[in-house]
Chains A and B, each alone.
Chain A
Amino acid sequence: MIGSVKMNMHKLIIAAAALVAGLAMAAPAHAAEAGPQPERQAWSFGGIFGTYDTNQLQRGFQVFREVCSSCHSAHLLAFRNLMEEGGPEFSEAQVRALAAEYEVADPTTESGRRPAVPADRWPSPFASEQEARDANGGALPPDFSVLAKARGVKDPFPTWIFNYFTAYQEGGPDYIHALLNGYHEEVPEDAPHNSDGTPFQLPEGKHYNDYFPGHAIGMAPPLADGSVDYAEAENGAGVPETLEQYSSDVSAYMMWLAEPHLVSRKQTGFVVLIFLVLFAGLMWGTKRKLWAGIEH
């Protein structure tokens, strides 16, 4: 009797899931104006076993420092973060030397400014939002602190259901990587037409990008092949100095910037999950033994 009740509930759940599936399939894709779906990259930090690649984060930091940071702020980044575990893991001496190259405001000093120390935050390139807009043709370069998590990819059915089971959290870096590689010098032939049927018109000072919502982005293509010099590794093996490589590296760096404790979080997660599964097993055994004498 009880078994049959359970069976019915199971059937209900399955039927409900099937209906949701049906509804989702019937739903036409509405992503037309958002451009093509960014391609999923093989991130080292993807999936439940993922961890950051320290070398990649160091390269990504270099791209950020030499290119992005001239317009984009990262006001939640402190210099000390760059030497913390699970990040780019520069040495303390490197971070101190790096910080000393920057000046920060400090009203307690005579000049009002002093060289930065590891405890200081990354100085913003512009003093105010207005100043940033004035320098960038009216567009505001977004702050990088949590940007990789503030962007995402809208997956079609049934991918978004699988995401809950694969713990896919890399929509942000996938989008940023696609965006950096999605520029066109000219408006392409297949650009979407305006709603009144007229061809796509790129506003003055904007650039065409496949992945940017509306396709007209204020940022000029920030990276090109060879625009950043990567140091050669000791064994002489060089990392390719290509747009593809730069955009992967800087996207990974931005993910670390947005989620600096990802590695330790996942490590703790394994301990917690293994404990819970074993504990649940012991509880199950205890419960069965306790109830063994009771007809229920």
Chain B
Amino acid sequence: MSEHSTYVPGSAVEKWLDDRLPVVRFAKEHLMDFPTPKNLNYWWTFGAILVMCLGVQIVTGIILAMHYAPNVALAFDSVEHIRRDINGGRVIQATHAVGASMFFVALYIHMFRGLFYGSYKAPREILWILGVVIFLLTTATAFMGYILPWGQMSFWGATVISNIFSAIPIVGDSIKQLVLGGFAVGNPTLNRFFSLHYLLPFIIAAVVGLHIWALHVPGNNNPVGVDVKDSRDTVPFHPYYTMKDLFAMVVFMIPFAWFVFFAPDILGHPDNYIMANSQVTPAHIVPEWYLLPFYTILRAIDFNVLFINSKLGGVIAMGGAMLCLLIVPWLDTSKVRAGTFRPMFKWFYGLFVINFIALMYLGAQEAAEPYTTLAKVCTAYYFIYFLVILPVLSRIETPKPLPTSISESVLGNKAHA
């Protein structure tokens, strides 16, 4: 990809370094000169926002780990110790906890942007799949992080979710015991979740590196979805997009700071201020909001199908929901990327977004009518969207005419008049 490089070493030292390890050349190519479509809208700033979120979580997390004690007898009080006795501890801890929610806000917006603008289509399939891998790793990391304060929701959330493994035939119970380090959630669970919660963010960072590498081979998709034709369609990443991304990051930090400083506990559950107790089950066990859509799909399968019991069926459905994301590049074969030019897709996509929010809402409700029926309907639409609507639309839909280039779309019809 050295074709974008305009780097000329400015001194003998830089020349010496460039001949041996061209890091400066690499940085100039990829962080400064990289040609980026000039028509990206603000939905495209969430990639940079997510890098910031990961950074915030790692920095605050490392500080929290200096004061946290991963032991069932000490964990709950050690988190309170951080909040009460560590300098700035209340804010660092709140930033980490609120940061997890903000991370998922950005993550979901980033994914739904990709789904609307067809960013998963050739030649960006690997880029998309790496993104889904990042999503799954982040979900696992966030889930394990929620166990660490060792409150009632931590404990019972871990108990409910780890039961998922036991649904797997034959090896399920062994896997569950391996994950928990015993027959039930306990000290070994807390220890290994802490260890993995510290490890996984660095693996996520590595996959983010691959994700950006895979982005820099074909370059960015863009809101009209037509390929970059020549240099008039692009601007260098720096200063144009560094500036725009920085602006978006600062704006994103405003609601972030609102929650950290004025409502740090509103995104959590009061029960998590009660220390974990295996003898007392909370009245209503709810996972964190960002896990709720998939939790609803898990719970929606409350009926047996042939030899598959409802428990295994739920696990298959939840796994399938994530698998759909992985294979969507081959389900949606329409050549047109941007949803803007697909008159039918637009409506089904809009319904899919609403449906996803409904799944999230339903996950927090108790297992009673009308929620259980609604959960089944919403789960069905989730799968129908990927497995039926996208493949069928690809064949029957007549897209609107595409602009011939990004420049033409930017100049609009004035160019033709």
How many angstroms between the C-alpha atoms of A253 and B348 in the bound complex? 53
B253 contacts across to A, CB distance below 8 A:
276
Q: Does B43 contact A9, Cβ atoms closer than 8 Å? A: yes
B251 contacts across to A, CB distance below 8 A:
280
A145 contacts across to B, CB distance below 8 A:
80
Residues of A within 8 A of B (CB): 1-2, 4-6, 8-9, 11-12, 15-16, 19-20, 23-24, 26-27, 30, 48, 76, 81, 145-147, 149-152, 163-164, 167-169, 171-172, 213, 258, 260-261, 265-266, 268-270, 272-273, 276-277, 279-280, 283-284, 286-287, 290-291, 294-296
Q: Does A2 contact B77, Cβ atoms closer than 8 Å? A: no
How many angstroms between the C-alpha atoms of A169 and B94 in the bound complex? 14
User: Contacts A20-B358, A171-B270, A272-B261: A1 and B239 contacting too (C-beta < 8 A)?
Assistant: no
How many angstroms between the C-alpha atoms of A146 and B274 in the bound complex? 8
A152 contacts across to B, CB distance below 8 A:
270
Q: Does B346 contact A8, Cβ atoms closer than 8 Å? A: yes
Can you list 23 contacts pairing A with B, beta carbon distance less than 8 Å?
A1-B340, A1-B403, A1-B409, A5-B41, A15-B350, A20-B358, A76-B77, A145-B80, A146-B80, A147-B273, A150-B273, A152-B270, A169-B263, A172-B270, A261-B83, A261-B90, A265-B264, A266-B262, A268-B261, A269-B257, A273-B258, A290-B243, A291-B244
How many angstroms between the C-alpha atoms of A1 and B246 in the bound complex? 25
A5 contacts across to B, CB distance below 8 A:
41, 223, 338, 340
B370 contacts across to A, CB distance below 8 A:
26
A169 contacts across to B, CB distance below 8 A:
263, 265-266
Q: Which residue of B lies closest to A289 (CB)?
A: B243
Produce 1/0 per residue, B115-158, CB < 8 A to A.
Answer: 01000000000000000000000000000000000000000000
B38 contacts across to A, CB distance below 8 A:
294-296
Q: Which residue of B lies closest to A269 (CB)?
A: B261
B107 contacts across to A, CB distance below 8 A:
none
- Secondary structure at the A interface, as helix, strand, loop or mixed, is helix
How many angstroms between the C-alpha atoms of A112 and B216 in the bound complex? 69
**Residue B224 interfacial (CB < 8 Å):** yes
Q: Does A269 contact B262, Cβ atoms closer than 8 Å? A: yes
- Shortest CB-to-CB span from B97 to chain A, Å, is 13
Q: Does B243 contact A163, Cβ atoms closer than 8 Å? A: no
B243 contacts across to A, CB distance below 8 A:
283, 286-287, 290-291
Produce 1/0 per residue, B329-351, CB < 8 A to A.
Answer: 00000000011100000100010
Within 8 Å by CB of B250, from A16, A30, A146, A283, lies A283
How many angstroms between the C-alpha atoms of A57 and B411 in the bound complex? 65
Q: Which residue of A lies closest to B349 (CB)?
A: A12
- Shortest CB-to-CB span from B27 to chain A, Å, is 20
- Shortest CB-to-CB span from A191 to chain B, Å, is 20
How many angstroms between the C-alpha atoms of A286 and B42 in the bound complex? 16
- Shortest CB-to-CB span from A26 to chain B, Å, is 7
Q: Does B80 contact A283, Cβ atoms closer than 8 Å? A: no
B235 contacts across to A, CB distance below 8 A:
294, 296
Q: Which residue of A lies closest to B360 (CB)?
A: A20
A260 contacts across to B, CB distance below 8 A:
84
How many angstroms between the C-alpha atoms of A20 and B244 in the bound complex? 32
Produce 1/0 per residue, B54-86, CB < 8 A to A.
Answer: 000000000000000000000001001001100
Within 8 Å by CB of A276, from B250, B263, B264, B340, lies B250
Q: Which residue of B lies closest to A142 (CB)?
A: B274
Which residues of B from 343 to 392 have beta carbons under 8 Å from A?
A: 346, 350, 353-354, 357-358, 361-362, 365-366, 368, 370-371, 374
Within 8 Å by CB of A149, from B116, B260, B265, B339, lies B265
Q: Which residue of A lies closest to B346 (CB)?
A: A8
User: Contacts A12-B350, A284-B247: A258 and B273 contacting too (C-beta < 8 A)?
Assistant: yes
- Shortest CB-to-CB span from B389 to chain A, Å, is 16
Given contacts A2-B41, A287-B243, 10 further A-B contacts (CB under 8 A): A16-B354, A19-B354, A26-B370, A149-B265, A152-B270, A167-B263, A169-B266, A284-B247, A287-B247, A294-B235
Q: Does B273 contact A27, Cβ atoms closer than 8 Å? A: no
**Residue B303 interfacial (CB < 8 Å):** no
How many angstroms between the C-alpha atoms of A9 and B340 in the bound complex? 10
- Shortest CB-to-CB span from A14 to chain B, Å, is 11
**Residue B240 interfacial (CB < 8 Å):** yes
How many angstroms between the C-alpha atoms of A81 and B338 in the bound complex? 59
How many angstroms between the C-alpha atoms of A291 and B242 in the bound complex? 12
In the A-B complex, the 10 residue pairs with the smallest Cβ-Cβ separation, listed nearest first, are A269-B261, A150-B273, A152-B270, A167-B262, A283-B247, A167-B263, A149-B273, A280-B250, A296-B38, A261-B90
Q: Which residue of A lies closest to B37 (CB)?
A: A296
B116 contacts across to A, CB distance below 8 A:
9
How many angstroms between the C-alpha atoms of A50 and B381 in the bound complex? 45
Q: Does B250 contact A8, Cβ atoms closer than 8 Å? A: no
User: Contacts A6-B41, A27-B365, A290-B240: A280 and B263 contacting too (C-beta < 8 A)?
Assistant: no
Q: Which residue of B lies closest to A283 (CB)?
A: B247
Q: Does B261 contact A273, Cβ atoms closer than 8 Å? A: yes
- Shortest CB-to-CB span from B333 to chain A, Å, is 22
**Residue B39 interfacial (CB < 8 Å):** yes
A30 contacts across to B, CB distance below 8 A:
366, 368
How many angstroms between the C-alpha atoms of A279 and B257 in the bound complex? 14
How many angstroms between the C-alpha atoms of A284 and B248 in the bound complex? 9
User: Contacts A145-B80, A277-B254: A20 and B361 contacting too (C-beta < 8 A)?
Assistant: yes
Which residues of B from 15 to 35 have beta carbons under 8 Å from A?
A: none
